[in-house]
Chain A
């Protein structure tokens, strides 16, 4: 229980209370209070932005595609401020002991100033040889499809939305097209490398009308889950469904009748065994 107490807000509060009573143990107790890992991402092309969190400067003059952090922030409410020469955007956001990205970007239609969106990072483990690919729509475009090798992998993603999947490691040819269209990509095609064992986050930013469409790629490590591929599957031990012989591949191609015969035999045998199994069950019952 103690080892997991940092995930429990209520318990953290309790620990803080204990800290008040026992200052000497305060630091130790607070170790277990929850924090979240926060990145701040500047997704507004052409802007130079001063970034602060809770009033403290994080960076000055951050250009588009800057990924700031990670910063560890305590669970609860915080405030981020983005200031350019033309606008100031201030937003509050909640931290919940996880990894998240705070992204400054334009909405689907350009307005007086950009908006802030929180994207939570899915850091659950992935299978060996796979990575998690998450694509977020933070550009001045209507809902879009994301295609891999000209085939729609993710469909109809609107500004402020994301989509995610586990994919095998490799380099993908990706483009973004208006939903349902297959010409005039808004972005790409670009070669997107996806490594195994990492979360690859792509943020589509900018606006096609002024040629500022771009992609921010963020990579976060993930743990691996699942076992390796088996070298053997021993899925039977009684010989109850054995056949006297199995035609080799060469035989099979040479003799269709042979395959059909063998298959029919197996079918018949399986049927018989099923019948017998059913009878056995009947007798047992």
Chain B
């Protein structure tokens, strides 16, 4: 993940942080109680064997687990050989949704898409580079069956005019293509309009995880009043998938 001012507020960094907590919950109580048994078996140089002496509410004894390792014959097995259980795989139609990484505007202009989070004040923090866009990390991902994939970008800044200025000239029927790491999807614009900034609230359908899958492009536009926060409007472009689901393809 490149360093990007826009991801400072990102809360996704700890995606795997559930697991230490889980392990701790599962492990601590058992081990505290099983310390004695564990001490007896410490000479067995396999971590899992050591841990297998962890008493569980419903697994009372500890020794037979070692017996399984040795001979695979357990009390309940009735002398049968234990065939490995199948591990379920996803159906071929499974789409693993992913955050967008790139959009291609109707003119062919490409914008890289970074992750963007809303700051505590409620403002979406967009990439500082005006040629990049931000994907709101609380919204839908490419491949989700419902809701809005929200991508926003600066229309301008002291750097000049951004690539998102093209949003202002989009209209129904225009084609926008979106890619993630492994998926690509083509959208057709269904509406493109300027709305007063005050009317694009957090509860707006533009951000909703409900409803048909759609792409929502946001930028600023309309009248500009530096005394009243600059642009007075947001450009809201809504596009819907041309096909049912995204197709596989490297982004």
Contact = CB atoms under 8 A, between A and B. Distances in A.
B39 A130 contact: no
B32 A20 contact: no
Contacts of B147: 130, 168
B137 interface: yes
A26 B74 CA distance: 27
Contact of A35 (B54, B59, B90): B54
Contacts of A6: 19-20, 23, 27
B166 A57 contact: no
Contacts of A110: none
B112 to A, nearest CB: 16
B5 interface: no
A90 interface: yes
18 contacts: A13-B47, A15-B47, A27-B39, A74-B49, A79-B74, A79-B77, A81-B74, A90-B76, A165-B145, A226-B11, A226-B136, A230-B207, A235-B152, A235-B218, A239-B224, A242-B222, A243-B223, A266-B169
Contact of A16 (B19, B30, B45, B207): B45
B200 A233 contact: yes
Contacts of A125: 12, 15, 18
A9 B47 contact: yes
A157 B88 CA distance: 11
B76 A13 contact: no
Contacts of A156: 91-93
A225 B12 contact: yes
A233 B34 CA distance: 55
Contacts of B81: 90
Contact of A241 (B97, B168, B197): B168
Contact of A136 (B42, B88, B136, B229): B88
B51 A33 contact: yes
A20 B50 CA distance: 10
Interface of B: 9-12, 15, 17-20, 22-24, 26-28, 30-32, 34-35, 38-39, 42-52, 54, 56-61, 64-65, 67-69, 72, 74-78, 80-95, 97, 117-119, 122-124, 126, 136-141, 144-147, 152-158, 160-162, 164-166, 168-169, 171, 194, 197, 200-204, 207-210, 218-224, 226, 229-234
Contacts, number: 396
A90 B232 CA distance: 68
Nearest to B83: A91
A120 B89 CA distance: 9
Given A55-B61, A93-B85, A163-B91, 7 more contacts: A55-B75, A154-B91, A165-B97, A230-B118, A231-B202, A235-B231, A236-B156
A105 B19 CA distance: 29
Contacts of A231: 122-123, 201-202
A98 B23 CA distance: 9
A46 to B, nearest CB: 21
Contacts of A53: 59
Contacts of B141: 166
Contact of A157 (B74, B91, B203): B91
A159 to B, nearest CB: 10
A233 B85 contact: no
B197 A232 contact: yes
B91 A55 contact: no
Contact of A230 (B17, B83, B136, B154): B136
Interface stretch (A185-193, A206-214, A271-279): A271-279
B92 A55 contact: no
B82 A90 contact: yes
A232 B123 contact: yes
Interface in A147-186: 153-158, 160-168, 170
Interchain residue pairs A-B with the least CB separation, the first 10: A242-B224, A236-B220, A55-B74, A231-B122, A52-B76, A81-B76, A74-B51, A226-B138, A72-B26, A239-B224
B95, B160, B161, B197: most-surrounded residue (chain A CB, <10 A): B161
